[in-house]
Structure formats: C-alpha cells, structure tokens
Homo-oligomer: A and B are copies of this chain.
Amino acid sequence: MKQSLGARTIIYPAPVMVVGTYDSRDRPNVMTAAWGGICCSQPPCLCVGVREQRYTYEALTARRAFTISLPDRAHAAAADYFGMVSGRDADKFARTGLTAARSRLVDAPYVAEFPLIVECVLRGTMDLGAHTLFVGEIVDVRVEEALLGADGHPDLEKMEPIAFMPGNDYYGFSGRVAAAFSAGAMYCGENQEG
C-alpha cells in the first residue's frame, strides 16, 4: 500500500553539483546545486536548476560558461557550505581554504581539490518557476589520474562521490549492485533485444 507524500521534489539520488563561475569582477564563485544532471548524450549536455536571486544566476547569464566540480566524501561539508551562503557576501574559496583553478577550455573556475570536474558552455535556458534550468554542453571531463581504474573509468571506490537524498541528507555509495545493459538480459527473449 502506497501513501501519498504530496507534490514534493523527491527523486533518489540527486547529484551534488558545485557550479563554478566568474562574477563581473572576475572573482571565482561556487554554489552547490542538486537539481539537474546529465540530460543529453549527443551533444553531451547537463542541466542545472538555479534560482534567479542567486549570485551564480547573474554570472551564468553574463559569462555563458560554467564548471561542475563533484565533491568526494571528504569535502561534503565544504560542498554543503557552498550551498548555504551567497558569493555576494563571502569568498567561499578563502573561507574553506580550497583552490579556485581556471578552466583551460571555458570561462569559469573549478575546485582544484575536488576529484572530478565537468567543463561546460551554456547552450540554453528554460524558465520553470522558482528555478531556471541552465543547459550546458560538456566540452571536457577531467578526473584525478590516481582515481582512474584499469578500464579507463574513474574508480568509484577510490573516488568516493556523494549523493544528495532529498529529506535524507548526503549519502555515500556501497558499491556495484548490478551491471548496466547486462543484468536485464535475463528477461530478454530471442526476438526482443535491441
């Protein structure tokens, strides 16, 4: 029996995306967003929802470029802080002791200490209400080389990414439970694949 929780923003999991931008005075700023994610395979795109009153909204609109830095478990508190205060009032890099590095490909900074970054140019926006959805085309993904596994993908057991679980805080991952595009083959009949 299912119980109604009402019209609420619940999907498990949500990513913890630290959005990096330069402001009008070229100061690096970051804010943490959990609304959005990858949204298109070709061209590779991600989307992130940002409120109009956010300092990052101004920067995204003016610079049309941003990065996403993904925190590891060790930086969960810093990522949380990045979502609690405004870059209008605080230098979030100075406050956390983290380093703003300039992207070589897009006009935006990222958090050097975070294990994985995604560099984007703004492709479009969609006004949805409280949040405007910013769609960025991904021009590169960069990861700490010590975290790369033998298969060329980041080793998530070493990387220790985190998730935002609405109403339930930040969570870590326990490991692989099934292989994608493979575990489901047990249900495929001869004429049904593809």
Contacts and interface: CB of A to CB of B under 8 A. Distances in A.
Contact of A180 (B137, B164, B187): B164
Interface string A108-130: 00000000111000011010111
User: What is the interface residue range for chain A against chain B?
Assistant: 35 or more
B133 A2 contact: no
A73 interface: yes
Given A15-B14, A183-B170, A184-B78, A1 B144 contact: yes
Interface string A30-52: 00001111111111111101000
What is the interface of chain A mostly: helix, strand, loop, or mixed?
Answer: mixed
9 contacts: A2-B144, A9-B41, A10-B116, A36-B37, A80-B181, A81-B187, A85-B192, A154-B168, A162-B177
B35 A36 contact: no
B184 A138 contact: no
A129 to B, nearest CB: 5
A181 B46 CA distance: 24
